[in-house]
Amino acid sequence: MRSAIIAMVKLGPFPSESSDASQLAEREALLAQITPPLSLAEAAALAGVLGPDDCFGLAWSVVHLIESAPGWSARHIPLGPSPFLSRLRARLVRAS
């Protein structure tokens, strides 16, 4: 697994847009280092960082990275409270 993904996962879920925006600089820098395609393990790990909202667009960047993993399916989407996990499932259904 790439070091930028490991570091992103260690930071935990994205904060909400109502949080201090200064928390985003490190996450933005890490996302810029991650190029598609992702492996399934990387995609599943990144799914865990999705938070309660768009996080100023960062969540959509993660969604697009996750969807770049060859063989990505609903069984790779972890359980969790983020609405983006549900969106990932819905996008898979629509793509079928």
pLDDT in tens, 9-27: 999 999 988 887 777 899 9
pLDDT of residue 68: 95
pLDDT of residue 36: 97
Percentage of the chain exceeding pLDDT 70: 100
Instruction: Please count the structural domains in the chain.
Output: 1
Domain, as residue range, for 69: 3-95
d(CA 96, CA 90): 10
